[in-house]
């Protein structure tokens, strides 16, 4: 060993320096590369081990053969070894930086352990707080923005106003509009959450923020699962229709788009279930009270996940909140997508824009700058893809049509991702997606998708569909329901249980939780064009939801029939009112409430209100001290005297017996009859009421 060291010391100093420097450089680059390469867990494990081992072998070659050539003064061979090590070192450093960049970008997808929550004290624009003001707060103590931070803000600003608790955000907002409270606590993006709801479309312009408070806290929606993406899994996609690029991983968001996906990496089969935003379901975090499913988003990601799990009975492994504004950049990076644009079918919309054209506001919802496209198979850019994914006013089925279009966009994007041809495009794509998405996927789980993506690519190269997508359709019906905490009704969507069961069964089969039943019979009509079946479509079976009708103005028989058919205990009471007697004037349960949620109801039948005897109908009766007796005429002295005079007059005017006989002999004396007829005619003339002429008196007649 001493001899070897002695020979090295006697070698060429320049060659020795070059040998040692390149060796050190290679060792450093090798360590950096191996460290980054080991982070790619699950990606080509065998290949990574071979590569690491090969580089280690080169390290040994550099050490041994470089030393031998140095001692033997074979400087050309030594130079070749050192140059190769130097080039390898440069390549390893570059590769290390690229791997680190990719890993950091992928790691950005993972949910943060701590995020910033913000609460706002919101009031109507004309409202000013004073000592008599009341503040509305959500009663749920687990609600960070509606309760926890609200109390912190109150203490910080020393607010002394009375606090009123509400169990529901919509009930609390309604109380603000009715001025039952002066201000309420809402999440900082409350305009996005509630502003696109049909109930409060102008909340952004109607309100102002009085106070704001933010605090970095542990992410309450953080959830971890050990399920690998190499086995069947589920993902809940939640759309955030924002007007800014980027996504703040806050708890509340607008839930206009919900897609439940299942994916089987073994069969490369996916199912997509779009849940209409107005679907009327029990909200998990609000005591399972029925409401539109998009209202669950106001309570955070966990509430949406639990609500969808309760609806479908399928466990959700992962979630992803996606800002649709990022669709623009993603589509443009991919060079556009090919989509069959459905032609609008709503007559009023067609009258505005014409047939065969679809127009929608731009990304910033500016109606002055429309984004238009032709219908049919089209190559869409980013702006057009977002416009198509947003539009619902051009179609009779509104949100149902929009859900279908979003599935088309999703499918087109998934197929186009495999066309990326350069690392820079992939890097741009990852950066665009990462800043517009929040998920509970961990980095190692995302990396495990590599093998699945490779299998999808190999399948595509063989001419097969890189992924088989099974579409679904939830059969629905319209409901007019009561907005919680208000006296107003809104339109919602009920679903047929049979249709939902067919969809969830297909998902369970795709997740390998249930065996697929073999279809042993098949019918085919050559005159019909064959189309792949859409799971759940045309299945309208199972009990449906109904709401309490408005019986006011209806007959009692209508209410009785309804109560009997729905098993409701109906109580009948009578009350005087302004309505038509005999018809229903009021009901104890408001119209729009679910029939399934009540067991009894009272209807109030109109009846004529009795006249209060203590209240005189004639003002003159107030001077009469004698109480009136029902059914008996009241005494009036003047009327008695008048009756006596009239009786005397009648006695005087009584015909005598002689006259009576004369009158009876009228038929026997024609001349008298003629005279009487003539006098009768004259009398008629005299009895005409001529203006200004006094009527004849009795004395004149006599």
- pTM of the prediction? 0.72
- What pLDDT is attached to residue 428? 76
Distance CA 494, CA 266 (A): 35
Counts for the chain of helices (H) and strands (E), in that order? 22, 22
Looking at the structure, do residues 340 and 192 belong to the same domain, yes or no?
no
Handedness of CA 15, 21, 24, 26 (dihedral sign): negative
- 257 and 328 in a single domain? The answer is yes
The last residue of one of the domains, among 218, 246, 261, is: 218
The residues, any chain, with a CB within 8 Å of residue 472's CB and separated by 6 or more, are: 271, 272, 273, 274, 503, 506, 534, 535, 536
CATH of the domain at 366: 3.40.630.190
Please check whether residue 210 is in contact with residue 182, taking contact to mean a CB–CB distance below 8 angstroms: no
Same domain, 487 and 390: yes
What does the alpha-carbon distance between residue 215 and residue 152 come to, in Å, rounded to a whole number?
10
Select from 477, 510, 543 the last residue of a domain. Answer: 510
540 in any annotated domain: no
Integer Cα distance of 283 and 279 in angstroms: 11
Cβ atoms of residues 250 and 242 within 8 Å: no
The whole-number pLDDT of residue 422 equals 67
Q: What is the pLDDT of residue 668?
A: 41
Q: Which residues pair with 116 in a beta bridge?
A: 216
Token reading at 606: 């109109």
Please state, in angstroms and rounded to a whole number, the distance separating the CA atoms of residues 691 and 171. Answer: 70
Asked if 193 and 254 touch (Cβ cutoff 8 Å), the reply is: yes
Residues 241 and 187 occupy one common structural domain: no
CB 536 within 8 A of CB 562: no
Residues 425 and 292 in one domain: yes
Look at residue 696 in the predicted model and tell me its pLDDT. 39
Nearest to 546 by CA among 600, 621, 477: 477
Cα–Cα nearest to 77, from 348, 422, 85, 378? 85
Same domain, yes or no: 463 and 334 = yes
Is 139 domain-assigned? yes
448 and 323 within one domain? yes
Phi, psi of 43 (to 5 degrees): -100, 115
Note the helical H segments in 398-516.
Answer: 399-416, 423-435, 443-447, 449-461, 497-510
pLDDT at residue 416, as a whole number: 83
Say whether both 154 and 78 belong to one domain.
no
Phi and psi based region of residue 179 (left: phi greater than 0; alpha: psi -120 to 50; beta: remaining): left
Q: Give the position of tokens 């960049």.
A: 101
Residue 413 phi, psi dihedral angles, 5° rounding:
-65, -45
Q: What residues have CB less than 8 Å from 546, skipping those under 6 apart? A: 566, 594, 595, 596
| Residue 627 within a domain | no
10-residue stretch averages of pLDDT, the chain, 702 residues long: 63 82 93 90 84 92 86 86 93 90 76 80 94 93 90 94 91 92 91 75 91 85 69 89 61 76 89 92 88 86 91 92 82 91 92 91 82 94 91 88 88 79 72 79 78 70 70 91 77 94 96 77 49 83 93 93 94 86 91 91 88 54 42 43 46 43 41 40 38 37 34
Pairing of strands 280-283, 370-374: unpaired
Domain that holds residue 602: 556-607
Question: Token pair of 486, please?
Answer: 């208000």
Which tokens is 374 given? 């032709």
Of the candidates 548, 499, 593, the one whose C-alpha atom is nearest the C-alpha of residue 280 is 593
State the residue for tokens 């961990």.
Answer: 442
Find out whether 323 and 254 touch, Cβ atoms under 8 Å. no
Which is it for strands 370-374 and 569-576: parallel, antiparallel or unpaired? unpaired
Cβ neighbours for 279, distance < 8 A, ≥ 6 positions apart: 292, 293, 311, 474, 476, 492, 493, 494, 495
Q: Where are the alpha helices (DSSP H) in 608-696?
A: 637-652, 657-664, 670-687
Q: How many domains does the chain have?
A: 4
Is there a single domain that holds both residue 213 and residue 261?
A: no
Q: Is residue 613 part of a domain?
A: no
Same domain, 63 and 185: no
**Ranges assigned E (strand) in 154-232:** 162-166, 183-187, 207-218
**CB 604, CB 571: distance < 8 Å:** no
Structural domain contains residue 648: no
560 shares a domain with 504: no
Structure-token match 């008996």, residue found: 632
Find, among 386, 254, 402, the residue nearest to 326 by Cα: 386
**Residue 646 confidence (pLDDT):** 46
Q: Do 145 and 139 form a contact (C-beta atoms < 8 A)?
A: no
Of 82, 107, 132, the one marking the end of a domain is 107
Q: Can you tell me whether residue 684 is helix, strand or coil?
A: helix
pLDDT of residue 259: 92
Residues 564 and 499 in one domain: no
Tell me the two tokens of residue 148: 């926890």
3-state secondary structure of 282: strand
Instruction: Determine how β-strand 183-187 pairs with β-strand 280-283.
Output: unpaired
CA angle 431, 436, 440 (to 5 degrees): 100
| The token pair that represents 341 in the structure block | 């644009």
């Amino acid at each position: 060993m001493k001899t070897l060291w002695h020979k090295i010391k006697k070698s060429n100093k320049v060659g020795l320096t070059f040998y040692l420097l390149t060796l050190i450089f290679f060792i450093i680059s090798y360590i950096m590369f191996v460290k980054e390469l080991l982070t790619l867990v699950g990606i080509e494990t065998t290949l990574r081990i071979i590569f690491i081992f090969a580089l280690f072998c080169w390290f040994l070659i550099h050490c041994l053969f470089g030393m031998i050539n140095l001692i033997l003064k074979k400087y050309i061979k030594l130079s070749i070894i050192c140059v190769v090590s130097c080039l390898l070192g440069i390549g390893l450093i570059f590769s290390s930086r690229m791997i680190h960049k990719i890993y950091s970008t992928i790691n950005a997808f993972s949910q943060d352990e701590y995020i910033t929550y913000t609460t706002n004290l919101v009031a109507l624009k004309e409202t000013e707080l004073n000592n008599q003001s009341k503040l509305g707060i959500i009663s749920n103590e687990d609600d960070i923005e509606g309760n926890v931070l609200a109390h912190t803000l109150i203490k910080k600003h020393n607010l002394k106003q009375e606090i009123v608790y509400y169990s529901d955000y919509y009930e609390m907002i309604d109380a603000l509009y009715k001025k039952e409270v002066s201000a309420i606590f809402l999440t900082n993006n409350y305009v996005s959450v509630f502003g696109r709801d049909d109930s409060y479309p102008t909340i952004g312009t109607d309100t102002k923020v009085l106070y704001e408070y933010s605090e970095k806290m542990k992410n309450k929606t953080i959830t971890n699962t050990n399920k690998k993406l190499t086995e069947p899994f589920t993902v809940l996609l939640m759309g955030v229709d924002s007007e800014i690029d980027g996504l703040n991983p806050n708890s509340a968001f607008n839930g206009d788009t919900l897609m439940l996906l299942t994916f089987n990496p073994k069969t490369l089969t996916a199912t997509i279930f779009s849940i209409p935003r107005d679907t009327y379901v029990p909200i998990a975090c609000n005591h399972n009270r029925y409401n539109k499913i998009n209202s669950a988003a106001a309570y955070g990601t966990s509430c949406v996940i639990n609500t969808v799990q309760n609806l479908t009975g399928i466990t959700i492994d992962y979630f992803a909140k996606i800002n649709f504004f990022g669709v623009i950049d993603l589509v443009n990076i991919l060079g556009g997508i090919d989509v069959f644009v459905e032609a609008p079918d709503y007559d009023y919309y067609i009258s505005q824009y014409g047939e065969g054209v679809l127009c929608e506001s731009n990304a910033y919802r500016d109606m002055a700058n429309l984004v238009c496209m032709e219908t049919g198979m089209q190559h869409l850019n980013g702006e057009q893809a977002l416009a198509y994914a947003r539009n619902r006013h051009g179609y009779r089925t509104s949100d149902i049509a929009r859900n279908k279009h979003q599935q088309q966009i999703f499918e087109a994007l998934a197929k186009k991702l495999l066309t990326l041809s350069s690392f820079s495009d992939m890097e741009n794509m990852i950066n665009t997606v990462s800043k517009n998405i929040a998920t509970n996927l961990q980095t190692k789980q995302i990396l495990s998708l590599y093998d699945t993506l490779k299998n999808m690519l190999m399948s595509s190269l063989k001419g097969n569909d890189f992924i088989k997508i099974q579409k679904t359709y939830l059969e629905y019906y319209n409901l007019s329901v009561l907005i919680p905490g208000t006296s107003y009704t809104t339109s919602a969507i009920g679903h047929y249980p049979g249709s939902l069961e067919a969809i969830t069964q297909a998902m369970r089969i795709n997740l390998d939780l249930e065996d697929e039943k073999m279809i042993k019979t098949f019918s085919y009509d050559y005159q019909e064009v064959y189309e792949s079946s859409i799971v759940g479509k045309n299945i309208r079976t199972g009990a449906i939801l109904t709401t309490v009708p408005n019986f006011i103005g209806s007959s009692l028989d209508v209410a009785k029939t309804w109560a009997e058919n729905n098993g409701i205990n109906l109580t009948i009471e009578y009350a005087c009112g302004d309505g038509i007697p005999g018809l229903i004037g009021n009901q104890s349960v408001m119209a729009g409430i679910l029939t399934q949620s009540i067991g009894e109801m009272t209807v109030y039948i109109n009846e004529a209100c009795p006249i209060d005897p203590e209240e005189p109908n004639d003002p003159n009766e107030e001077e009469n001290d004698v109480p009136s007796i029902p059914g008996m005429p009241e005494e009036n002295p003047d009327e008695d005297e008048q009756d006596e005079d009239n009786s005397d007059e009648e006695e005087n005017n009584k015909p005598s017996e002689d006259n009576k006989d004369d009158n009876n002999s009228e038929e026997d004396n024609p001349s008298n009859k003629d005279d009487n007829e003539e006098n009768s005619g004259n009398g008629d003339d005299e009895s005409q009421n001529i203006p200004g002429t006094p009527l004849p008196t009795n004395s004149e007649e006599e």
